[in-house]
Amino acid sequence: MNPASNLILVGPMGAGKTCIGRRLAERFGLRLVDADREIELRAGTSVATLFELEGEAGFRARESAVLAELLRDDGLLLATGGGAVLAEDNRRLLRERGFVVQLLVTVEQQLERLAQDRSRPLLARGDREQVLRELAQRRAPLYAEVADLRYDTGSLGSAEAAAGLAAALDRHWRRPAGAPSSSPVSGADA
């Protein structure tokens, strides 16, 4: 059992990292940080604009720096970007500084969830299904490499997924001292 004080969610876009993370952070008394939003706040612009101006390599350098800074703290729930696992140093940091949950979702479920989303730069290039399949092939082994726990969110709404994952975390994760252990996960499905 990994006794880390941080809870980290990894997985592909559309897996529910932010929506589920919001509910889990409340349940476990953690501070929620969405890594992509944090990068946007610090840069003063969107991820899409960063990709346009700096390319993926520039964005990934920013992402690594933000992850390193954020994970110096304890007591946070970190919703990572889908590509955060690409850098070996990031994977090492995630494993060392948190209990990592891999959220699972199929490409078909991603397509459904992301059908109206035009904000993701990697989906702006060509056939969305093909892009998602290529990303899954490259990234799935890296998610699995860092994961302490794997959880399928595919057929679940965020409230149901968060409740089920909270129950699994109660069995598999030793939470930080003083964190609530069994408060209900509530709220409408986001």
> Is 58 marked within a binding site?
no
> Is 120 marked within a binding site?
yes
Under 8 Å CB-to-CB from 180, ≥6 apart: which residues?
27, 28, 29
> Is 159 marked within a binding site?
no
Q: Where are the domains of the chain?
A: 7-172
> Is 138 marked within a binding site?
no
CA distances from 86 to 73, 116, 145 (A): 22, 26, 11
> Is 18 marked within a binding site?
yes
Q: How far apart are CA 93 and CA 87, in angstroms?
A: 10
> Is 177 marked within a binding site?
no
Q: How far apart are CA 145 and CA 27, in angstroms?
A: 26
One digit per residue, the tens of pLDDT, for the chain of length 190 reads 566 889 999 999 888 999 999 999 999 999 999 999 999 999 999 998 999 999 999 999 999 999 999 999 999 999 999 999 999 999 999 999 999 999 999 988 888 877 777 777 667 777 888 888 999 999 999 999 999 999 999 888 889 999 999 999 999 998 656 554 444 433 333 3
> Is 15 marked within a binding site?
yes
> What CATH fold (topology level) applies to the domain 7-172?
Rossmann fold (3.40.50)
Angle between helices 88-97 and 128-146 (to 10 degrees): 50
